Amino acid sequence: SQQGEEDPQALSIQEGENATMNCSYKTSINNLQWYRQNSGRGLVHLILIRSNEREKHSGRLRVTLDTSKKSSSLLITASRAADTASYFCATPLTSMYSGGGADGLTFGKGTHLIIQP
Amino acid sequence: SAVISQKPSRDICQRGTSLTIQCQVDSQVTMMFWYRQQPGQSLTLIATANQGSEATYESGFVIDKFPISRPNLTFSTLTVSNMSPEDSSIYLCSVGDSATNEKLFFGSGTQLSVL
């Protein structure tokens, strides 16, 4: 079953604006990750935030994590047309396997972001 | 990082046939993961393939329908057997990051349409 639930499901904004996507999850985690998928192809890892971190930055990306609310947000600042993609949050399947690590990830439903030029 | 070559990139198949998807990694990895993404949906883990052992399947997926091979540490195949239109999806292979074993790297996916 899906662990993460993103909202909104779809988001359309003007180029240059900021885009915010949210993710909620159900079980305890040791990290949460965000991925981008262009045109239904392979996913690209964007950023990982650990359970003991509250905020992390990478270029135009800002991720927050609130473990008390079991939620995370991804902010893309100064959006560009090339940011048009689907964005997924993902959490480790550590409940399924021992030892943690990349024992597979479970993905949320995703937010489809469209940047209007 | 890992570079993953997945083929075919797309195929159109007839009902009742089988398709084998290949995944080649440019480095040795312990675990490889096969995901399915149905149209407009998120990714669902099909199975985890470890070299030298049987693949571990997630709930709802069985070996007879999705047999997996893992002959060495850089290669795996997923077969979609006795296909029906409901199998039309994107199939993705992925591997864990060798440094931290936390994040995943993905192949470019196989877009399968079953008529």
Q: Write down the domain spans for chain A.
A: 5-116
Distant-in-sequence, close-in-space partners of A21: CB < 8 Å, separation ≥ 6: A6, A7, A8, A11, A73, A74, A87, A111, A113
- pLDDT score recorded for residue A99: 42
Q: Is the pLDDT of residue A94 over 70?
A: no
Residues of chain B with pLDDT under 70: none
Nearest to A37 by CA among A117, A108, A103: A108
- pLDDT score recorded for residue A3: 63
pLDDT of B15-37, one tens digit each?
Answer: 999 999 999 999 999 889 999 99
- pLDDT score recorded for residue A33: 95
Q: Which token pair is A108?
A: 């949320």
Q: For chains A and B, what is the number of CB pairs under 8 angstroms?
A: 63
pLDDT of A11-49, one tens digit each?
Answer: 999 999 999 999 999 988 899 999 999 987 889 999 999
Q: Which of A90, A102, A107 sits opposite B101 (nearest CB)?
A: A102
- pLDDT score recorded for residue B102: 83
Q: Is the pLDDT of residue A102 over 80?
A: no
Distance, in Å, from the CA atom of A42 to the CA atom of B35, rounded to the nearest integer, reads 11
Binding-site residues on chain B for chain A (CB distance < 8 A) = 4, 6, 31, 33, 37, 41-45, 48, 90, 92, 94, 96-97, 100-109, 111
The architecture that CATH gives domain A5-116 is Sandwich (2.60)
- pLDDT score recorded for residue A5: 77
**A44 and B CB contact within 8 Å:** yes
Q: Is the pLDDT of residue A95 over 50?
A: no
**A105 and B CB contact within 8 Å:** yes
The architecture that CATH gives domain B25-96 is Sandwich (2.60)
Distance, in Å, from the CA atom of A51 to the CA atom of A96, rounded to the nearest integer, reads 19
The residue among B9, B42, B46 with the most chain A CBs within 10 A of its CB, best to mutate, is: B42
